[in-house]
Every structure is written in structure tokens, then in C-alpha cells.
Structure 1
Amino acid sequence: MEHAPFTALARVYDAIMADIEYDAWADFILSYAADVDVKVSSALDLACGTGNLTRQLSVQGLSVTGLDGSAEMLAVAAGQVPGVTWVQGDLRTFDLARTFDLITCVFDSLNNLVAEGDLLAALKRAQAHLAPGGLLAFDVNTRLGVRELWEGDSIEGLEALPDGSEVHYHWSHRYDAAAKLGVVQAFCRLLGGEHDGEEFVETHHERGYDPAELEDALREAGFASWEILEYPDYAPPQADSPRVWVFARRGPK
């Protein structure tokens, strides 16, 4: 019943995340890019999952590549978002031998990098794939956000799937103070259809990153400038901000 993160979950991910405002996130990112005069014609969506933000970038007329470590998530993405190049790769080591005007990585995906040096490795790879003057946009949960992920430390629901069946999900969260990691146990049960009664669990870990840590990593990764802001008003983060957005620029040459 236990599966690796983002494998079995791919079948039901979009149903559970149906209310996530990927369109608003895309507008937030592209509006910032326009405000700082970054001309965007190509984009790389890191940790693209089932392609929800990728789709929003593509419908804006951009040439888009989506990269994710999960073959299962990419298979779903490829089946529902046409006109995108899909690549399986590791955020810490990928090499596409080209650059992009915009690189995105949303929905606290970088928090899944939990080992020492992982975040820096991913930021270095992103910086190397940006065109001169290009923009990296990502969001992360802060240390507070990872400690206090959900009110009541659980979420539960019942969602319809495309084949007429349903998924019941119960996800629980705890904070491992010794490891300084948030731990989410994602339980799902399929109801109806050919997989009626099938159950699976995935265990996900997240490390929180505060603004000062992010700035150190961005500096070491070679970014020329950056801003750390809150969604949706681009305000400076507060000490109790559970999540922040980062917009980082590669130098012009």
C-alpha cells in the first residue's frame, strides 16, 4: 500500500487539487516579469507535476518545457497538455543544454529538497538554464509554514474522478522537530470503477526555508538580484509568513 512520493498519487492528483489557482499564479508570475521588463517567449516549468501551471504558461503562447522527477506525473501531463516538451529529470542535476527566459517552480516543490545542499544544487541548475537577464520564480513554505502546514494537521475529502469513480483522501501532517522536517502521510482510497477499494499511502517530507536562508542560497548560486515577496500583492514578507515567493534574475551577461 505504501508507494514512493508522486507515483500512485498521479492518478488522483488533479481531482484533489482541483481548487488550486494555477491560473492566478501564472498571472502573478507573468505580471511580475512584465513589470521588471523581462521579455518572455520561452519557459521551463520545474517540478511540473501533471502540468497545471505548465498549461497556463503554454496558453499564453510561450514555448514551454515541463520537467519532473516522476514518470507517473509526466504521463498524466503529456496526456492532457499538448504542445509542451516533457522531460523527466532531477531538480538538482538536470542539464537540458539550452536556456529559457523564464523558469518556474511552484506549489512548494523546492521544499521537497530536504538534504543539506539540495536547495543550492537546484538553484545552481536553474541559474545555469536562464538566458541572460532571465527570471526564476518559485514559492516555498517557510520554517513556520512547514511546522504549521494545516489547521488541525489534517485534510480530508471526497472527489470525483474522470471515469465516474471517486477518491476519498485523508492526509495527515506532523512536524519532526529533531529532523526539522514536515511529514505528510497521504492516504487515498478509490471508490467505484475497476479499482474500487484500492488504497495507497505516500509519505512526503518537506524542509522549510526562511528568507535569510534563501538569500544566502541565491547569492551562492550566482543570481544577480532577487526579491522575496508575498502572494498576491507582492508585499514584503513578515516574520510569521508561512509561504513566500522568490523572483530572482540572472545577470545580463
Structure 2
Amino acid sequence: MQKPPFTALAAVYDAIMADVEYGHWADFVLTYANDGGLEVRSALDLACGTGGFTLELWRAGFRVHGVDGSLEMLEVARERLPAEVTLSLGDLRTFELPDPLRGNSFDLVTCVFDSLNNLLTPADLGAALARARAQLRSGGLLACDLNTRLGVRELWEENAIEGLAATPEGREVHYHWTHHYDPEGDVGIVQAFCRIEDSQGDLQEFVEEHRERGYDPADLEPLLRRAGFARWEIVEYPDYAPPTPETPRIWVFAWA
């Protein structure tokens, strides 16, 4: 029943996350890019998962490539995305693009839905930022979001979420996810329990454990500098306001 992160979850991820506002996030990112004078023709979506945000980038008219560390998530993304959106398996810290794209520079690199928080040390996060910077052309933009330390400590009210969702083929998913903060490890831990009907109507259960470390602006700025970004801005969604100590999630816009 215990599964590695983002494996069994892939099959039910989109059903559980049906209310995620990928379109609004894309508008937020592209408005910032346009206001900064960036003409976007190509985009690289890191930790693309099942392709929800990747699809919005394609709908905006860009040439898009997605990278993710989970083969299971990429298999769902491949079914969801148009054939011209290319995908590859890779670790955020070390990925290499496939041969047809190797050496290309992108106008925009994105990494959303607190994916970078899965990197549990500043060294790992710094490595991922450096890999993202290496894919950008001069003057290109990295757009990403992260949960702050506060956001990881206080992820959900009452530290649990529960509900029912339906897959596209009509199977019912019951999910019960609990969260606690480990002060010794300085990480938030989510136990993601799911129960789903299989094709014969029998119930299957699994649990995945997900760990996140929170990062505040003060943690990020030296990492962005070492990764080679020329300038950056750290803001809140959706109004681009400066974050406060009570901000649970921040957005980073970093220019190459």
C-alpha cells in the first residue's frame, strides 16, 4: 500500500486537483513577462507533472517542452497534451534535455505548484535553479512558486483535507491527506491516502509520503545570485505585492 511519491498518485492526481487554477497562474506569469517586455516563443515547464500548467503554455501559442522526475506523471501528461508538446524524464537538479532540444535556449522557464519545495536542502534547490538558468536565453525569465517556511508549517487548516473525486472514466476516489511539521528536520510531511475503485469495481488503497521544505525570500536570494540570475523580484499572487512575514506562498520572477 505504501508507494513512492508521485507514482500511484498519478492516476488520480487530476481528479483530486480539478480545482487548481492553472489558467489563472498562466495569466499571472505571462502578464508579468509581457509587462517586462519579454516576447515569449518557447517555454520549458519543469516538474510539469500531469501537464496542467504545460497545457496552458501551449494554449498561449508557445513551443513547449516539459520535464518531470516521475515516469507515471509523464505518462498521464502524454495522454493529456497535444503531440507537439514534447516531454522528457529528468531530475530538477541534473536533467539534460533530449538530443533534438539540447543546446536550445528558452524564453521562459516555469516550475509551479510548490514543486521546488520537494528539494529538501538549499544545495539541492540551488542546483535546480542553476539548471533552470542554464536553459534560458539571455534576457529570458524563470517563473516559479514556493511555499514559505510559514506555509510549510501551516499547510492546511486543521492539518487535514478529505474528499471525494471522480476520474474521467467515472471511478470514485476517496482521499484523506494529513499534514504535520517536523521541527527537527525542518520539513512538512504529508501522508496522502487514496482509495479508488478499479475497473472491476473493487477498492484499491495506497499511501504516499511527501516531504517539503519551506524557503523564504532571504533563503532564495543568495541561491538566485549564485545560479547566475541578473535580477529578480519576489512577490505574492495575484497582485504582485511584496511578501510579508505572513505570506504562505511566494512567486519568484528571475531574469537571466
Q: Report the TM-score, using the length of structure 1 for normalisation.
A: 0.97
Distance 1:193 1:7 in 2: 19
Deviation at 1:95, TM superposition (A): 2.0
Change in Cα spacing, 1:93 to 1:195, as seen in structure 2 (3 Å) is farther
Tell me which amino acid in the other structure corresponds to 2:149: R
Change in Cα spacing, 1:63 to 1:158, as seen in structure 2 (3 Å) is same
SS of the equivalent of 1:31 reads helix
Unaligned stretches of 5+ residues in structure 1: none
1:46 match:
46
Contact 2:118 2:213 in 1 (8 A): yes
Does 1:80 find its partner at 2:80?
yes
1:51-130 → structure 2 map (5 Å cutoff): 51-82=51-82, 83-96=84-97, 97=102, 98-130=104-136
Contact 2:198 2:204 in 1 (8 A): no
Does 1:25 find its partner at 2:31?
no
SS of the equivalent of 1:125 reads helix
Spell out, residue by residue over 1:149-170, the C-alpha distance to the aligned partner (whole angstroms, 9 max, x if none). Answer: 0000000000011121100000
Unaligned stretches of 5+ residues in structure 2: none
From 192, 213, 216, give the equivalent of 1:207.
Answer: 213
SS of the equivalent of 2:209 reads strand
1:217 match:
223
Distance 2:75 2:9 in 1: 12
1:15 match:
15
Spell out, residue by residue over 1:65-105, the C-alpha distance to the aligned partner (whole angstroms, 9 max, x if none). Answer: 00000000000000111120001000000122221000000
Contact 1:163 1:193 in 2 (8 A): no
From 138, 146, 153, give the equivalent of 2:159.
Answer: 153
Tell me which amino acid in the other structure corresponds to 1:21: E
Distance 1:196 1:120 in 2: 45
Distance 1:68 1:165 in 2: 26
From 128, 142, 146, give the equivalent of 1:140.
Answer: 146
Spell out, residue by residue over 1:189-215, the C-alpha distance to the aligned partner (whole angstroms, 9 max, x if none). Answer: 013633621000000000000001111
Deviation at 1:115, TM superposition (A): 3.0
Distance 1:77 1:178 in 2: 36
Change in Cα spacing, 1:116 to 1:228, as seen in structure 2 (3 Å) is closer
SS of the equivalent of 1:75 reads helix
SS of the equivalent of 2:9 reads helix
What do you get for the CA RMSD once the two structures are aligned? 0.9
How many residues are treated as equivalent by the alignment? 250
Distance 1:86 1:247 in 2: 24
Contact 1:168 1:191 in 2 (8 A): no
